[in-house]
Amino acid sequence: MKSARKQKRAYHRLIKDMNIICCDKPMKIVLICNAGLSTGFDKQMLESIVNPIITECEFIMPQGRSYCFIRCRSEMDAVELYNKLHGRFILNRQRTILYLTYIQSVPDVYNDTSNFTLPPGLKIIEDFIDEKEEKLLLNIVDWTNMGSFSSDLKQRKVKHFGYEFQYHSNKVDPNLPIMSIPEECSFLQDLFKKHGCGTYDYDQLTINHYLPGQGIPPHIDTHSPFEDTILSLSLSSSCVMNFKKGDVKVNVVLPQRSLLVMTGEARYAWTHGISSKYSDLIETTNGVVKQMRGVRTSFTFRKVRRDPCSCIFVEYCDTKKDSFSSFIDNKSAAELERSYVHKVYNEISDHFSETRSKGWPNVIKFLNSLNDGALVVDVGCGNGKYLHTNENIVKIGCDRSSKLAEICRKRNFEVLLSDCLHLPYKDNSVDFAISIAVIHHLSTQERRKRAISEMIRILRPYEIVQNLLTVICLYLGKNELVTISLDIIIFLKKKNYQNYVQRFLWY
């Protein structure tokens, strides 16, 4: 008994060293602490033990390790497995009692589902530049001076050259060049050609500056603004970049002074990102080592595109999506929304309402800033989470989900059951309209345009004309989240509204 406890403690220490977070409460992933490839345990043996208890699970058996992971389909399966095996199952030959624990996640280094092959079209050129050249490049930028075309983002600092990368749209304006790429980089253009990275000169450079613990969310660089090849030079520290397509994940080490080349499928269809961590686990010939991150600066070179993207990765392509949406007729669009939006919201309304009690702070700030007596309509008000903000204004709402409207009514909010394409209010009748996270549920541009027009129709004309785009940007903030939730709309005015609708849809 005593030795078993000792053994268990030793394994837990090891687990701690590997950054694995053990949990007392059930999780979907179970770790067998004391049996793995290095103890003579193999996949066949593991399957023969686990499969009679649960099916459809994934086995992760790291090379040279004395433990292994089982990713179960559900927590219930994990509990079943844990209860049957932990402290109970004895491995015949070694007379070892298996010890199990629940864990939150499999360390990234073992999460690699690709068997270590790189995504197609991805290449790493090690030692692309020497130390002297690295120093020269690092000296180009002064991070204490964040002038124009620089941003101090939450997770990193950035500077742009050639064309500004606009984080609200994830695009560049090809008609608006900014200061050109620094002269000190011109030797790189020759090196790129020498290594077969395209025949053109790259004309857009984004320099990212990451402190340890910082990163970049997973993303695919938008197709329409940039040509196929995207290059990223890693300076002053290495890091691990995570690539993902569907369920397949590949973690790629970007060594200091290496060049990452993304073309074809890797550029167009795989997301890339860097998790916000202080260290990376790296698989080496001596096993897994923990590598602390230093301050990393990357130079990302792109070529601005002048023609529409003609890639074959249709489902990831914004050019293709834009033209695709115009093919959907109104009837099919309405059908899609009925099945995938209205039905779903009615089914999940209770859970949705329980998990959506807090409003977005900037919207609350906006509502609190309004003059007493103002009449505000919340289009797509959901469970009415904004309808109790600021008791000095009058709030009404509407929603397409009868279940959510019912929840609102029970809370004594004045809510109508309505589609955002046909608002049940008179022209020029409300002072303000807000619509938060609604527009993206409409499946064509035409319908989105119509929803915006409807909101403008019901607004009273204002003397003070403010710019709709300014308002959208103001409330989205200069945060990267902007790119995924473009549909917070707060209208303050109406004038030449067709203009605004056009400009809004340009995003």
β-sheet bridge partners, residue 375? 394
Nearer to Fe ion, 272 or 293 (CB): 272
CB nearer ligand AKG, residue 216 or residue 456: 216
Q: Where are the beta strands (DSSP E) in 277-345?
A: 279-284, 287-292, 296-302
CB of 276 to ligand AKG, least distance (A): 13
Shortest Cβ 230–Fe ion spacing (Å): 7
Are the C-beta atoms of residues 314 and 205 closer than 8 Å to each other? no
Paired residues of 299 in beta bridges = 207, 233
User: Which is nearer to ligand AKG, 159 or 272 (by Cβ)?
Assistant: 272
Measure the CA–CA gap between 183 and 140, rounded to whole angstroms: 10
383 interacts with, out of ligand AKG, Fe ion, none, CB within 5 to 8 A per kind = none
Q: Which is nearer to ligand AKG, 242 or 443 (CB)?
A: 242
Q: Is 232 in the site for ligand AKG (CB under 6 A)?
A: yes
Among 111, 204, 208, 401, binds ligand AKG (CB under 6 A): 208
Residue 480, SS3 per DSSP: helix
CA dihedral 277, 154, 272, 282 (to 10 degrees): -10
Q: Using the minimum distance from each CB to ligand AKG, give the nearer residue, 232 or 401.
A: 232
Binding site for Fe ion (CB under 5 A): 221
CB of 263 to ligand AKG, least distance (A): 14
Alpha-carbon span 276 to 212, nearest angstrom = 8
Q: From the CB of 485, what's the least distance to ligand AKG, in Å?
A: 19
* Cβ distance to ligand AKG smaller for residue 229 or 298: 298
Q: Which residue has the tokens 């179970």?
A: 30
Binding partner of residue 349 among Fe ion, ligand AKG, none, CB cut-off 5 to 8 Å per kind: none
Residue 318 is a binding residue for ligand AKG (CB under 6 A): no
CB of 221 to Fe ion, least distance (A): 4
Beta bridge partners of 415: 397
DSSP string, 310-351: --S-GGG-HHHHHHHHTTS-HHHHHHHHIIIIIHHHHHHHHH
CB of 440 to Fe ion, least distance (A): 22
Interacting positions 292-311 with ligand AKG (CB under 6 A):
298, 300
Structure tokens at 212: 């340890």
* Number of CB atoms found within 10 A of residue 123's CB: 15
Residue position matching structure tokens 């060293």: 17
Q: Whose Cβ is closer to Fe ion: residue 221's or residue 446's?
A: 221
Q: How far is the CB of 170 from ligand AKG (least distance, A)?
A: 9
Element (H, E) at 264: helix 264-268
Helices and strands: H and E segment counts in the chain = 14, 25
Decide which of ligand AKG, Fe ion, none touches 488; Cβ closer than 5 to 8 Å per partner kind: none
Q: State which of residues 272, 303, 305, 494 lies at the interface with ligand AKG (CB under 6 A).
A: 272
Comparing every residue's Cβ against Fe ion, the nearest one is: 221
What does the DSSP 8-state code read for residue 246? T
Other Cβ atoms within 10 Å of 391 Cβ, number:
8
Please give the residue ranges that form the binding site for ligand AKG (CB under 6 A). 206, 208, 216, 221, 232, 272, 298, 300
